[in-house]
Every structure is written in structure tokens, then in C-alpha cells.
Amino acid sequence: MFDLNALIGGVLIGLSAALLFTFNGRILGVSGILAGAVTESWQKLRGTVSPAKFLAEGYWRLAFALGMLAGGGVFFHVLGGPSQPSPVPLVFTLLAGTAVGFGTREGWGCTSGHGVCGISRLSVRSVLATLIYIGAGMLTVAIVKGVG
Amino acid sequence: MFKQVVFAFFVGALFAVGLGVSGMTQPEKVIGFLDIAGDWDPSLAWVMVGAIGTFGLIHVFVKEREKPVLAADWSHIPKVGADLTTRAKLGNVLFGVGWGLAGYCPGPAFVSLTGGQASAYAFVAAMFVGFLLSDGVSRLLQAAARKSSMSQ
């Protein structure tokens, strides 16, 4: 059962990872990029980060995050892409978000960092991490559907 | 440095379009992919095929370069390894649970802020709290480790 949009989207994702790697020498791991942007910016506001460090670590992450929003704007409002809510009640969305934020940092990455970049680089660490989070995801869906 | 910052912006935009086109920004599609025991929708597997196929191939050639095109060196690329700690594995489990529950992972949720969905806003806000909690836990553990090594 072939899905062309999924494949094309995947190629764009892989190309993005390749570009960030080749030009910026960085792994495209969204949890690391966003968390880094948040913590670096927070430290900049508090004055606890050196200008050199924020220059090296903060700006490109903020730029990437802004770029994601710009791209989102293009996808939803220029290309007319479908926008869909999460199907669970708000309290579960909040719990899920907290779990994802905490878990991706503890787990050293998410689907882009481990699933795309890590596996592409033949990282055993990332293959294992991916199997674990996909397995946990599948189990969770099975339980939720079983209970619901 | 400026070039890298500008470049990161455009890569972020391309990445977001890729996420949207792939279907990853549709929580029900993601949950369908994880619904292996029920109404399984395997189409998101093609996202992995496209992404890993593309980056995997390009990486083989690019990693031989002495340095990245814009950046000074490869120092920000972690060495590949097989060293996942128990704590990290638990993190992976927690991530998977949250992903399966809401159908969002970090990238798609963040991109979906521009789609106007309230659930995306709630998820991203909670995710940022999760990031800060993890950072806090790491700092606490580091401080505790320092104290115990000082008292020895």
C-alpha cells in the first residue's frame, strides 16, 4: 500500500537533515533544537550565557524554529494542507506533551534525531531508541483503544 | 556564523513543508500508524523510507568531507555508538507513550502551531515544560553528584 505524499514528504525531511548536516555540521533533531533554543534564550534573558555561546548555540536554533513556523505557514496557508486537531481531550494532550518533552530529552532525541539522522548514520543507539519509542507508542495506542 | 543562521532558517522551512506533506502533522494518521493491533495504516512507513533513503545516501558521501560547508568542523556531530543508558531508554518509552497518546511528536506539533489548532498550542506548551523539567532533573543530579564527590 503505497503513499506518495508520505514518500515525498520523507524525501524533503531527509534532504533537510542532509542540508543541515552538510552545511551547518549539525544533527537535525527537533527536540534538541527546540529545547536548546528555549534554554539558551532563557539563559540569555537571565544574563547567564556568554554572548559567544549564544551566538554559537542559540541563534541558529531560533532561526531553525522560526523557519519551521514559516514553512508551516506555507504548508497550511499557501499549499492548503490539511489541519487536524489531536483527537484526545485537553488534559491528555497536556500530559502527552509533558511526556514527550521530558522523554525526548532524557532519551537523547526524537523521531528526527534518532529515527531519521541516527538510523541513516547506522547508529545502533538510535535504532534501539527508535524501536523502543515506536513500541511504546504502539502499546499505548493499543491500550487506549482497548479501554476506550 | 550569519550564513549558518540564515541557512538554518531555510532548512527549517523546508523541513516543515516536508513534515506537512508527509502526513506527520495529522495526529490521526500517526495514531493510525501506531495502531498495529487494530486499524493499521502503514503509510507513514514511507516517510521513514524517503527520509532515511535520502539522508542515508547523502551522508555516505558528505561524511568524508574534512569540514562542513559553512561550519568550522564536525565537532557538533555525535559519534555513533551503542551506549543507550537505562535512563535514556526510559526516556524513549515516555516519549513513545506521549506520541501514541496525542499523535504528536516535537516537530509536527511545533509546525502545527501555524495551523491554528488549539491542541498543538497545548501540546507545545506542555512539551516546553517537559524540556525544562528534564533540564532541571539533570542539574539536580549533577549537583548531587558534585556534593557526594566533595564529601569523600
Q: pTM of the entire structure?
A: 0.94
Per DSSP, A63 falls in state H
Subunit contact B87:A106, Cβ cutoff 8 A: yes
Q: Say what the pLDDT of residue A1 is.
A: 82
Subunit contact B46:A2, Cβ cutoff 8 A: yes
Distance (Å) from the alpha carbon of B147 to chain A's nearest alpha carbon: 22
Q: How far is CA B56 from CA A12, B59, B142, in A?
A: 13, 5, 36
Taking CA–CA distances from B94, the nearest residue in chain A reads: A103
Subunit contact A124:B80, Cβ cutoff 8 A: yes
The upper half-sphere exposure of residue B41, i.e. CA atoms within 13 Å in the direction of its Cβ, equals 16
Subunit contact B112:A72, Cβ cutoff 8 A: yes
Of B44, B11, B39, which is closest to residue B26 (Cα–Cα)? B44
Residue A148 has pLDDT above 80, yes or no: no
pLDDT in tens, B87-129: 999 999 999 999 999 999 999 999 999 999 999 999 999 999 9
Q: Say what the pLDDT of residue B48 is.
A: 97
Nearest-by-Cβ selection for A100 from B17, B21, B127? B127
Write the ipTM.
0.95
A47: three-class secondary structure by DSSP: coil
